[in-house]
Amino acid sequence: MAVYKAPRGTHDIFGELALALEKLDVVARNAFKKRNFKEVKTPIFEDAALFTRSIGETTDIVEKEMYVFEDRKGRKLALRPEGTASLVRAYIEHNLNQTEPIGKFFYSGEMFRYERPQAGRYRQFSQMGAEYLGNPNPSADAEIILVAAEILKALNIKDIKIHLNSLGCSSCRAEFRKKLVEYFSSVKDLCQDCQRRLEKNPLRLLDCKIDAEKFQNVPTMHECLCSDCRTHFEQVQFLLKEVGCEYEINHKLVRGLDYYTRTVFEVRSSSVGSQDALCAGGRYDNLIAELGGPQVPSVGFALGCERVLMAAEKNGFFNNLNSEEKIFIAVADDELFSRAFSFAYELIENKDNIRSLCSFKNNITVEGPFSGKSLKSQFKLADRIGASKTVIFGKNEINAGKILIKNMTTQEQKEISYKK
């Protein structure tokens, strides 16, 4: 018999990780919703050209990492490697600039990149992201950075650093590009990717993992920023300082996608190894127009759920994932099974405020009853699932209109009246 395993670079999510992912989802949704971001769901696959156009032909994602396939009608499609391009496509397709007065959107879901798998880097991974469309003001950049930081803080992740840079607009970028080509042309033994990209996209060289050590005193974008871009960048920083948000300027931060203009940022953690970017984003003032929509300056970010949870775990977030009290329902005699079954139902539905009658918390999970098991094995099961209390249906007690509640930690039992 063939033994099937999850494909390389993918993983199954269950147990604690599934719980943690659910909590992250709640935390992020809360952070988005309280700032009036609205959810958008887009397909998992799109026209491959959408990503090539937006992310950029000479990026690693497009050159090496996209899952591209043809459907039965010969359409060239790709599994989405990120969410921004899809969201922008949906925004243009549904004319959302006309119906949504403030273009604040969020999304969550699986992304696919054919990367070399390692801890924190997968071929299928989840992102949650927010995009603020139509606000050119530095306050939108600051709001995006702050919502990212807030989510990480709510998950108790303390060891983070916000790396910030500006990539300027197309006019100041042209000067930077010239300086970079001049600089890189004088560097010997560039790797093959760098040689190839030098003419087409010299900014990508700043991101090269192989040649990074060779690049000393590289020109910085900061030297080339035009006065509008400089002011914009200063104001983003001013607003972050105003609310006490710490950051670090990183002149080498260029990001792996080509659509960015002006602000770019990454939030990195020191506790997760080499794949340390927990979330990242930036401004993309021309992308919507480049994809055939109106000129709508925008900014956004996405967090990688797996990486965020790795960091959260290191910071103790997994210690108290189970905040619910677990209640196990046991039957001493199978004759009482149907009564125990309907009691479980009443408890789940909290009929007649039965939880408070039993002195249970409001936040409970209910398990059982099971028939055909001895009371001893039911108690064992209750322990294994971590039940804090077991409700016992015994003949004598039921005849006296009572049920027993056993505290699984102290082993104490108390009777309460229970009349159906």
Residues making contact with ligand HAM (CB under 6 A): 82-84, 113, 115, 120-122, 125, 127, 129, 131, 256-257, 277-282, 300-304, 306-307
Cβ of residue 362: shortest distance to ligand HAM, in angstroms? 35
Which are the contacts of 56, defined by CB distance < 8 A and separation ≥ 6? 62, 201, 257, 258, 259
Q: State the DSSP code for 121.
A: B
- Choose between 305 and 340: whose C-beta lies nearer to ligand HAM: 305
Instruction: Provide the angle, in degrees to the nearest 10, between the axes of the packed helices 170-185 and 192-200.
Output: 140
Whether the CA torsion 319, 107, 247, 258 is positive or negative: it is: positive
Residues for the chain: how many in total?
420
Cβ of residue 271: shortest distance to ligand HAM, in angstroms? 14
> Among all chains, which residue has been given the structure tokens 């560039």?
190
Cβ of residue 50: shortest distance to ligand HAM, in angstroms? 13
Which amino acid is residue 17, in one-letter code? Answer: L
| Residues 291, 335 contacting (CB under 8 angstroms) | no
- Choose between 229 and 340: whose C-beta lies nearer to ligand HAM: 229
Cβ of residue 279: shortest distance to ligand HAM, in angstroms? 5
- Choose between 127 and 378: whose C-beta lies nearer to ligand HAM: 127
Residue 333, SS3 per DSSP = coil
Cβ of residue 126: shortest distance to ligand HAM, in angstroms? 8
Cβ of residue 55: shortest distance to ligand HAM, in angstroms? 8
- Choose between 258 and 306: whose C-beta lies nearer to ligand HAM: 306
Distance between CA atoms of residues 331 and 395, nearest Å: 9
- Choose between 279 and 336: whose C-beta lies nearer to ligand HAM: 279
Residue 48: enclosing H or E segment and its boundaries? helix 48-55
Which amino acid is residue 299, in one-letter code? Answer: V
Cβ of residue 14: shortest distance to ligand HAM, in angstroms? 18
- Choose between 117 and 401: whose C-beta lies nearer to ligand HAM: 117
| Residues 273, 76 contacting (CB under 8 angstroms) | no
Residue 33: enclosing H or E segment and its boundaries? helix 15-33
Report the DSSP beta bridge partners of residue 414: 405
Radius of gyration of the chain from Cα atoms?
A: 28
Cβ of residue 386: shortest distance to ligand HAM, in angstroms? 30
Distance between CA atoms of residues 278 and 340, nearest Å: 47
- Choose between 52 and 84: whose C-beta lies nearer to ligand HAM: 84
Determine the straight-line distance between the first and last CA of the chain, rounded to whole angstroms.
53
Whether the CA torsion 106, 107, 113, 116 is positive or negative: it is: positive
- Choose between 113 and 406: whose C-beta lies nearer to ligand HAM: 113
Distance between CA atoms of residues 317 and 154, nearest Å: 10
- Choose between 287 and 358: whose C-beta lies nearer to ligand HAM: 287
Cβ of residue 196: shortest distance to ligand HAM, in angstroms? 21
Cβ of residue 277: shortest distance to ligand HAM, in angstroms? 4
Residue nearest to ligand HAM (CB): 304
Cα-based torsion angle of the residue sequence 244, 249, 254, 256 in order, rounded to the nearest 10 degrees: -40
- Choose between 46 and 131: whose C-beta lies nearer to ligand HAM: 131
Beta strand pairing call for 76-79 and 68-70: antiparallel
